[in-house]
Amino acid sequence: MQKLIIQGGLPLHGEISISGAKNAALPLLCAALLTEEPLKISNVPALQDIITMVSLLKQMGVHETEHGNGEMVLSAAALTHPVAPYEMVKTMRAAILVLGPLLARAGEAEISLPGGCAIGLRPVDQHIKGLQAMGAEIAIRHGYIHAVTKKLRGARIVFDIVTVTGTENLMMAATLAEGTTILENAAREPEIIDLANCLNAMGAKIHGAGTDIITIEGVSSLHGAEHTVMPDRIETGTFLVAATATGGEIHLKNTDAQLLDAVLDKLTEAGARIDSATNWIKLRMRTKPKSVNIRTAPYPAFPTDMQAQFMSLNCIADGTAIMTETIFENRLMHVQELKRMNANIEVEGNAAIVTGIAQLDGANVMATDLRASASLVIAGLVAQGETVIDRIYHLDRGYENIEGKLSALGAQIQRIQ
Ligand code: EPU
């Protein structure tokens, strides 16, 4: 198993380019299922989750060609096998995103239920409820969702809870339904706007993406298109936190400050100086960081995917911070690992009370999920001495070449077998 070894204590300095967003690219790849014609997607990040999704699509009959440089063409001329097997879904829950497109295009889908997840229960009841409202017949048998329909029809669906992939799944399904679908209490994440833009370029009629009411007028078919994946706002935020924690100065290219207002506000509150224009962000940190309280909530509020990284920052900040996780029930697993590095953190229910200390100690730690892994990398970068991070396959699911990018910023980080 691979590990990362980090020698801490060096401020990050320099310039790197941000990759395409994992959580935008995954649904965009699934959108290819909605048309017989080729869909060309650019700026696809080189990540394990993308590899898993592409192999899932291929075994359904999708033809894929890569042109290098993050450019990919997917062609779903014939869908031979509308099945997502357990082996794939268990490694990547986003596989549920094929359910809506498969039902809409092929009229049937057999998708393994994702099951439990390290960060929370993560049921898919809202995806199922929505598709049933659109006329799909759905049964759960032997751990699989069996869904069939002659033709989906438009419906008004009010989500009980704000769900990102739930909104994406139903939005994709509704593009080919008969009549108009209205999604209320929809998620407003920028990745949903990116998907809607791509679907509209394919001939869909979607209005309101980015607001909590999305209207989709069904069309009889979609056609091929070209689309560029938006920048990864969580990768962007992760590097910005790392620079703030280490007292560095970095310039991030190919990203967009408007995607992460809540995160930039918190970094400014922590003491960072931030400048940005349309496609770059610069951050400079000259002082010891100040503690910042965090409460995660759906977009545009503070993202759950940045909570763990900010916890590492708070570990070495001046003061005490209360960090409340409201999206997932079990997303504080990094606390135990950070405590192995001497962090002062108390957990009460879904909140962590973090009191900053002068310095973290390098230690052997274990990654437990994707964003928890990122928090350990940041902790390793600021710690005194050596940190060894195990189980970094979590990191490879969502950060493209993280050690390469950090090395380019002057970090001492190395991957070992
Ligand atoms: N939920 C339900 N029922 C549903 C769907 C969701 O109860 O049918 C609950 C979940 O259990 C959770 C809350 O609703 O408590 C929000 O979950 P959501 O469905 O929004 O999460 P997701 O769509 O499964 C996406 C991202 C996650 C990110 C969350 C929240 C993708 C592929 N994944 O997950 O990204 O944390 O939204 O913003 O877009 C990551 O990148 O590290 C990651 C976990």
Reported residue count of the chain is 417
Mean pLDDT of the chain: 96
Task: Find residue 213's DSSP bridge partners.
Answer: 184
Phi, psi of 277 (to 5 degrees): -135, -165
Task: Find residue 209's DSSP bridge partners.
Answer: 211
Residue 413 Cα to ligand 1 midpoint, Å, equals: 31
* pLDDT, tens digit, 9 for 90 and up, residues 56-86: 999 999 999 988 889 999 999 999 999 999 9
Task: Name the residue among 9, 49, 415, 29 with its Cα closest to residue 234.
Answer: 49
pLDDT tens track of the chain, all 417 residues? 899 999 999 999 999 999 999 999 999 999 999 999 999 999 999 999 999 999 999 999 999 998 888 999 999 999 999 999 999 888 899 999 999 999 999 999 999 998 667 887 788 999 999 999 999 999 999 999 999 999 999 999 999 999 999 999 999 999 999 999 999 999 999 999 999 999 999 999 999 999 999 999 999 999 999 999 999 999 999 999 999 999 999 999 999 999 999 999 999 999 999 999 989 999 999 999 999 999 999 999 999 999 999 999 999 999 999 999 999 998 999 999 999 999 999 999 999 999 999 999 999 999 999 999 999 999 999 999 999 999 999 999 999 999 999 999 999 999 998
Residues with CB under 6 Å of ligand 1 are 23, 26, 93-94, 120-127, 161, 163-166, 187, 303-305, 327-328, 370-371, 398
Ligand 1 atom nearest the C-alpha of 234 is 41
Give 362's DSSP letter: P
Which residues carry out catalysis?
Answer: 117
Nearest-angstrom CA–CA distance, 371 and 145: 28
* pLDDT, tens digit, 9 for 90 and up, residues 300-321: 999 999 999 999 999 999 999 9
Give 46's DSSP letter: -
pLDDT given at position 194? 98
State how far Cα 345 lies from the chain centre: 26
Residue 38: cis peptide before it, omega within 30 degrees of 0: no
Residue 324 Cα to ligand 1 midpoint, Å, equals: 17
- State the chain's maximal CA–CA distance in angstroms: 64
Which helix (H) or strand (E) element contains residue 14? strand 13-17
Atom 28 in ligand 1: which residue has the minimum CA distance?
305
Q: Which of 125, 164, 167, 325 to mutate to test the pocket of ligand 1 (most atoms within 8 A of CB)?
A: 164
Q: N- to C-terminal Cα distance for the chain? A: 6
Say how many C-beta atoms besides its own lie within 10 A of residue 121's C-beta.
Answer: 10
Atom 20 in ligand 1: which residue has the minimum CA distance?
163
Query: What are the residues whose beta carbons fall under 8 Å from the beta carbon of 50, sequence distance 6 or more?
Result: 22, 25, 26, 29, 44
pLDDT given at position 242? 98
Which helix (H) or strand (E) element contains residue 244? helix 233-246
Residue corresponding to tokens 């094929």: 98
Nearest-angstrom CA–CA distance, 37 and 41: 13
pLDDT given at position 114? 84
pLDDT given at position 116? 66
Phi, psi of 5 (to 5 degrees): -115, 125
Ligand 1 atom nearest the C-alpha of 128 is 8
Which helix (H) or strand (E) element contains residue 48? helix 48-58
Nearest-angstrom CA–CA distance, 186 and 75: 29
* pLDDT, tens digit, 9 for 90 and up, residues 227-276: 999 999 999 999 999 999 999 999 999 999 999 999 999 999 999 999 99
Ligand 1 atom nearest the C-alpha of 163 is 20
Ligand 1 atom nearest the C-alpha of 305 is 36
pLDDT given at position 42? 98
Nearest-angstrom CA–CA distance, 317 and 295: 17
Nearest-angstrom CA–CA distance, 152 and 248: 53
